[in-house]
């Protein structure tokens, strides 16, 4: 036996000694990463809307194969110099910390029945469950250590996490720096949080980022981890911050780390210093945006009103110039700033759809530029309610398409829809004669303007609107659909729609980010990395003569001679002249009959610079409440001509 042992030793030392020596001296190279500043967000004038505020922080970089016992020692040491919140510490986290002490683990393991027969995972669960059930009493400092350990334990090997990312005191920095050699992986660092120099109101459409405490959104963890994020990284959680996350996040620094076979770091070389995220320049001017929001706040009615929303666009490019809104609880009266309600709150809008309805009539050939006179009269079909124009309940009044828009004739719009469906109207005819595809025909017509379909704006969470029931049993509802009293649309869809009318038929994709830019040497905006270009989604192919008639009708809404024109009360006073169509839809709030007051408009009439859409749902049925749409639009135009442009060109 001794001879055999000697032979084996000789074999190991002489024949394979060099191999084993090389294995002992073997080193591995791996990569350590660290976060960088997030890109900033600017308004159209170059003013910072969203910046970064730096904070003194304490971080921890987890080494290779670091044991729980070693982290336990570091956490206890660090807790002597650093105060962290402990209110979020769970019983399970406390148990994991407690068991990281090898003596505690041995004692608890001895209390587990048949511990030796359990797998490592099962034994771990059993010991943690035991500690949770028989929770030991921890001192305040031990609770601090448990909270610190929890953050350390959540980090991946060679990833960096913040133990305390803000409100670190000079004393804490000094004491930790003095004892850092005794706490492997602990460093003084810098963290960043979002700041809002112009105020927090921009969050309503810019969005927010998660905190280090929140980490990655639960529903996106796996996807983001695969993209190189750590679990506690901050990430855009809504709106622009989320939509442009890959651009704003930047590129983490990379340090090559050489690790010996004993898991000790022997060499560190910075391969890449990291790059701050790129900056976004928006299409909105913050001064104008804030002023439009103030108009909404000031003009918001009370009572049953459910809110007010406004969208301002450049009709030629699709650039969103302002996005504002308030949501109001009619029961409590509580008002919440809700700019994004303009893109995700469908509303039954009313007669603003009539220019699209009449354009469809011209496109189908049922109306022609030379023959578009119909008789405004009550529409009576068996199986549905009588439909009349508000100001004409019983008479028969001939009118052309332009006058039908000027006076907002419901009868005219319904007759156009019936003609498009090849339904020959006669008083008392049955709605059973309406074709099965009636709804689809009308919706196809409206969708070419963006009504009932997503606009394509560069923000997540956009609504496509809300379609009413459209089975054969609901065929009678296709008649109010023709004048906007059935399906629901967003205010942004109205903005895209009126922009299409203004620019001659091109449905432009709305956008809020006009540029992506780097960072200059002085910390400001750097070189342009991306420039948004206008994108037409489709073209409304009606004849120039037909479009001219629709435009003339919308001009007459504000500037016509009829006593029944609907936009003269407020808008007629504005210069340059406004082209518009108002809308009123019948709605209900808490069982009480109410109305939605809406408007689409643009100006100047030739070479339009600005398109404005407004919707105010849930208004009480009073004459004065109907004018809030015009009042809001009027104030927006005044602000635009004052602060952004004039009728002759950009200031």
Q: What CATH number is associated with residue 227? A: 3.90.1310.10
For residue 637, the SS3 value is helix
- Whether omega for the bond prior to residue 428 falls within 30 degrees of 0, making it cis, is no
Query: Length of the chain in residues, anyone?
Result: 651
> Roughly how many angstroms between the first and final C-alpha of the chain, as a whole number?
100
Same domain? 151 vs 90: yes
Question: For residue 402, which of 451, 361, 443, 446 has the smallest C-alpha distance?
Answer: 361
Query: How far out from the chain centre does Cα 497 lie?
Result: 21
Query: Both 97 and 216 in a single domain?
Result: no
Looking at the fold, whether 106 and 202 belong to one and the same domain comes out as no
The answer as to whether 362 is a domain residue is yes
Residue 23 pLDDT class (50, 70, 90 cuts): very low
> Are the beta carbons of 406 and 355 closer than 8 angstroms?
no
The residue that leads in pLDDT, 482 or 35, is: 482
Catalytically active residues are: 351
**Structure confidence by residue, pLDDT tens digits, 87-105:** 989 999 999 999 999 999 9
- 345: CATH: 3.40.710.10
Residue 3 lies in a domain: no
Pair (299, 422) in one structural domain: yes
Give residue-wise pLDDT tens across range 323-365: 999 999 999 999 999 999 999 999 999 999 999 999 999 999 9
In a domain, 172, yes or no: no
Rounded to whole angstroms, how far apart are CA atoms 222 and 196? Answer: 30
pLDDT (0 to 100) of residue 651:
41
What's the average model confidence in pLDDT over 185-191? 86
pTM of the entire structure? 0.83
Q: Are residues 450 and 535 in the same domain?
A: yes
Whether residue 195 is found in the same domain as residue 123: no
Answer with the one of 252, 282, 312 that is the final residue of a domain: 282
> What pLDDT does residue 612 have?
98
Domain boundary among 263, 282, 301: 282
* Closest by Cα among 447, 497, 508, 533 to 316: 508
The answer to whether the beta carbons of residues 598 and 306 sit under 8 Å apart is no
Question: Does residue 506 form part of some domain?
Answer: yes
Using pLDDT thresholds of 50, 70 and 90, give the confidence band for residue 649: very low
The last residue of a domain, from among 282, 303, 333: 282
CA-closest candidate to residue 148, choices 216, 92, 94, 211:
94
Domain count, the chain: 3
Assess whether 255 and 368 both reside in one domain: no
Q: Is residue 10 part of a domain?
A: no
Other beta carbons less than 10 A from residue 25's beta carbon: 9
Looking at the fold, whether 129 and 278 belong to one and the same domain comes out as: no
Same domain, 197 and 335: no
Q: What is the CATH number of the domain that holds 139?
A: 1.10.10.1230
In a domain, 174, yes or no: no
Contact of 553 with 401, CB cutoff 8 Å = yes
The answer to the question of residue 179 being in a domain is no
38 and 88 in a single domain? The answer is no
Q: Give the domain range for residue 235.
A: 25-65+188-282
In a domain, 181, yes or no: no
Task: Please check whether residues 200 and 124 belong to one and the same domain.
Answer: no
Task: Specify whether 193 is located in the same domain as 149.
Answer: no
């Amino acid at each position: 036996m001794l001879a055999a042992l000697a032979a084996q030793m000789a074999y190991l030392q002489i024949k394979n000694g060099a191999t084993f020596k090389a294995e002992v001296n073997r080193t591995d190279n791996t990569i350590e990463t660290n976060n960088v500043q997030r890109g900033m967000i600017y308004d159209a004038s170059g003013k910072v809307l969203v910046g970064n505020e730096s904070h003194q922080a304490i971080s921890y970089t987890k080494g290779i194969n670091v044991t729980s016992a070693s982290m336990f020692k570091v956490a206890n040491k660090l807790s002597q110099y650093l105060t962290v919140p402990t209110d979020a510490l769970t019983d399970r986290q406390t148990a994991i910390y407690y068991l990281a002490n090898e003596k505690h683990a041995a004692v608890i393991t001895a209390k587990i029945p048949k511990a030796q027969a359990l797998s490592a995972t099962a034994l771990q669960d059993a010991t943690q469950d035991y500690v949770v059930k028989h929770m030991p009493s921890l001192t305040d400092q031990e609770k601090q250590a448990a909270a610190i350990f929890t953050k350390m334990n959540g980090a991946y090997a060679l990833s960096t996490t913040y133990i305390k990312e803000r409100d670190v005191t000079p004393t804490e920095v000094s004491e930790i720096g003095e004892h850092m050699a005794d706490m492997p992986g602990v460093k003084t660092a810098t963290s960043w949080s979002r700041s809002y120099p112009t105020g927090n109101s921009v969050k309503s459409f810019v969005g927010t980022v998660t905190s280090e405490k929140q980490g990655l959104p639960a529903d996106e963890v796996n996807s983001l981890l695969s993209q190189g994020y750590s679990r506690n990284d901050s990430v855009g959680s809504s709106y622009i911050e989320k939509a442009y996350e890959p651009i704003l996040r930047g590129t983490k620094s990379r340090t090559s780390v050489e690790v010996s076979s004993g898991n000790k770091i022997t060499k560190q070389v910075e391969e890449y210093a990291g790059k701050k995220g790129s900056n976004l320049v928006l299409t909105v001017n913050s001064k104008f945006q804030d002023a439009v929001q103030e108009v909404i706040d000031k003009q918001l009615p009370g009572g049953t009103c459910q809110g007010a929303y406004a969208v301002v666009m450049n009709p030629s490019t699709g650039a969103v110039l302002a996005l504002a809104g308030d949501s109001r609880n009619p029961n409590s009266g509580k008002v919440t700033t809700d700019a994004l309600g303009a893109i995700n709150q469908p509303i039954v809008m009313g007669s603003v759809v009539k220019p699209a309805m009449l354009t469809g009539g011209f496109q189908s050939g049922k109306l022609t530029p030379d023959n578009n006179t119909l008789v405004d009269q009550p529409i009576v079909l068996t199986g549905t309610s009588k439909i009349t124009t508000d100001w004409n309940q019983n008479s028969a009044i001939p009118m052309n398409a332009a006058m039908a828009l000027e006076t907002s004739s419901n009868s005219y719009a319904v007759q156009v829809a019936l003609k498009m469906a090849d339904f020959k109207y006669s008083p008392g005819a049955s709605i059973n004669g309406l074709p099965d595809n009636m709804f689809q025909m009308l919706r196809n017509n409206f969708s070419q303007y963006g009504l009932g379909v997503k606009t394509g704006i560069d923000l997540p969470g956009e609504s496509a609107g809300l379609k009413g029931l459209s089975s054969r049993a609901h065929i009678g509802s296709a008649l109010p659909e023709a004048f906007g009293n059935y399906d629901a649309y967003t205010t942004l869809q109205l903005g895209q729609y009126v922009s299409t009318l203004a620019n001659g038929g091109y449905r432009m994709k709305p956008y809020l980010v006009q540029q992506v830019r780097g960072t200059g040497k002085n910390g400001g905006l750097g070189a342009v990395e991306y420039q948004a270009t206008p994108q037409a989604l489709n073209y409304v192919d009606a004849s120039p003569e037909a479009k001219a008639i629709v435009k003339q009708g919308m001009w007459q809404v504000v500037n016509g001679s009829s006593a029944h024109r609907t936009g003269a009360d407020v808008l007629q006073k504005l210069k340059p002249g406004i082209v518009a169509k108002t809308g009123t839809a019948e709605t209900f709030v808490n069982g009480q009959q109410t109305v939605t007051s809406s408007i689409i408009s643009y100006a100047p009439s030739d070479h339009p610079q600005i398109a404005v859409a407004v919707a105010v749902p849930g208004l009480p049925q009073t004459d004065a409440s109907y004018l809030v749409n015009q009042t809001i639009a009027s104030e927006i135009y005044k602000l635009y001509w004052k602060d952004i442009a004039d009728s002759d060109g950009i200031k």
